[in-house]
Structure 1
Amino acid sequence: MAAIFKNKTRRTLFIGAAVLALVGLGIGLYAFDTFIGFSDDIDENPPVAPTLEAAAQGRQVVYRIDATQSEVRYNIDEVFLDDNTLASPVGRTQGIAGDVLIDFENPQASQVGTVVINIEQFASDSGLRDRAIRRNWLESSTYPEATFVPREILDFPAEPVPGEPFTFRMVGDLTVKTTTAEETWEVEVTLAEDESTLTGQARTAILLSTYDVGPIEQTIPPLRTEDELRLEFDFVALRVEPGALEASAEADPAATAEAET
């Protein structure tokens, strides 16, 4: 009887150990896949945005965002639950496209075109964080781009002065994944004295819960974030000379057709 009991005990211990090993292996593979490997296949090409076109008459000028000199940043507060440590990571992307049209004869008719941001390219100081955000919350392999479509420009100056900064607000529709919501950006812009470039910064704050991407909570490592995400957009936009769009269409008709849709 004692021998039978010992055999059953050994068998139970063996089965328990095997189950724990399988569970541990599953957790380990999940953690590895989510936070360490397997590497993401990220499209590093700049996005394409719909283009604006200046009227043939008057003094309208189109400025196109130069992605190499521009950057969108996010900043969010997070708490590591194991030691109650606070952090405010910053993620950056230069995957940006969009146009601005300044009407020098009628500044109130100036426009900001659709701004497209490649959110799959966001990179912070932690590759683990970036992969987790891409896979579990932004799902950016499926939804790689966010778009902002301005609907109203408020407080645009009656007469922008080259070399002097001016401010205005943009109200429009921000789309992340499958959700679109109204957001307002505070914008400060400086027009170069020779009118060749626009430089500026736009700021806003959004709620992750609005777009079903947070607040973020995870167990490896144990942390949670606030719901509010702060966004900053530093940009340089270069003057588009008349005929530039036609020239680019001849060079790459497919890209131009995509931009105009």
Structure 2
Amino acid sequence: MAGSIRRHWKRWLIAGVATVAVLCTAGPYIYINYVQDKPPAALSLDDLPGSDSSGRPSGSGDGVEGAWRVGSGSQAGYRVDEVLFGQNVTAVGRTEKVTGELEIEGNRAVNGSFTVDLASVKSDSDQRDGQFRGRVMNTERYPEATFELTEPVDFGSAPAVGEQVSAKATGELTVHGETNSVSFELDAQRTADGFRVNGSLPVTFADYGIEAPDFGGIKVEDEGNIEFLLAFDRA
């Protein structure tokens, strides 16, 4: 009788362990693939603001030379791949708290500096945001990320309202108290009353003294991207 009870107990124990293992594997898969919302698409210039009811751009379309500042509708943030309990996911965090100035002479942006409030960056997970502000970015000590142009950005020509041009930007990016020279491609679009600039630059976390999270079933890749969409108004 005692031997039979022990055998039953072992079978139940094995079944319990197997059930837990299945739940630990299947649970994240089901949540990530069927419950969790898909990450937002990359920021882009697809939607043109400042159009009338016919869809044609409205406004004066004056020249772009002079001083500009980052205005409403601007966003910046990160996009990074994670492995969450064995499942591949893409994490995206963004903020609208972006400031900056740009000086344009002719068809070139000759000066520019921009600041992102990292403490206000939010994703779809409060837990992720807490880790981002705390052990990852330490926003209490390093609350901002900044970028400053070190070379003029040559757009070649001033586009008509609604048109886009591409260029290469070079400058210094400061994150987590570390500064590195970076170069990246960007797109600019003329709007009715100003222009917008969109781009993405790859970032290797170790270059900025940031340790990619790897704990508790969560592993973040060693590289990610900073995304931005900046709308400029006259300064």
The aligned counterpart of 1:98 is 100
The aligned counterpart of 1:162 is 160
* Percent identity of paired positions between Structure 1 and Structure 2: 23
* Alpha-carbon displacement from aligned partner over 1:140-160 (angstroms, at most 9, x marks no partner): 011100111111135x23321
Superposition map of 1:4-153 within 5 A: 60-66=65-71, 68-80=72-84, 82=85, 84-103=86-105, 106-108=106-108, 110-153=109-152
Higher share in helix: 1
Report the AA paired with residue 75 of structure 1: R
* Alpha-carbon displacement from aligned partner over 1:105-130 (angstroms, at most 9, x marks no partner): x324x324111111111100000110
The aligned counterpart of 1:212 is 209
TM-score by length of 1: 0.62
The aligned counterpart of 1:186 is 185
Q: Matches of 2:74 and 2:155 in 1, distance apart?
A: 24
> What stretches of structure 1 move > 2 A for 4+ residues in a row?
none
> Could you say which structure has the greater relative contact order, defined with CA pairs below 8 angstroms and 6 or more residues apart?
2
Q: Matches of 1:169 and 1:157 in 2, distance apart?
A: 8
**Count of matched residue positions in the alignment of Structure 1 and Structure 2:** 172
Q: Matches of 1:118 and 1:125 in 2, distance apart?
A: 18
Contact 2:102-2:113 at 8 Å conserved across structures: no
Q: Matches of 1:112 and 1:215 in 2, distance apart?
A: 33
1:225 aligns with 2:220: yes
Give the number of the structure whose alpha-carbon radius of gyration is greater: 1
Report the AA paired with residue 61 of structure 1: G
SS at match of 1:77: strand
Unaligned runs of 5+ in 1: 1-58, 241-261
RMSD: 1.8
Q: CA deviation at 1:137?
A: 1.3
Contact 2:202-2:223 at 8 Å conserved across structures: yes
The aligned counterpart of 2:46 is none
Contact 1:72-1:92 at 8 Å conserved across structures: yes
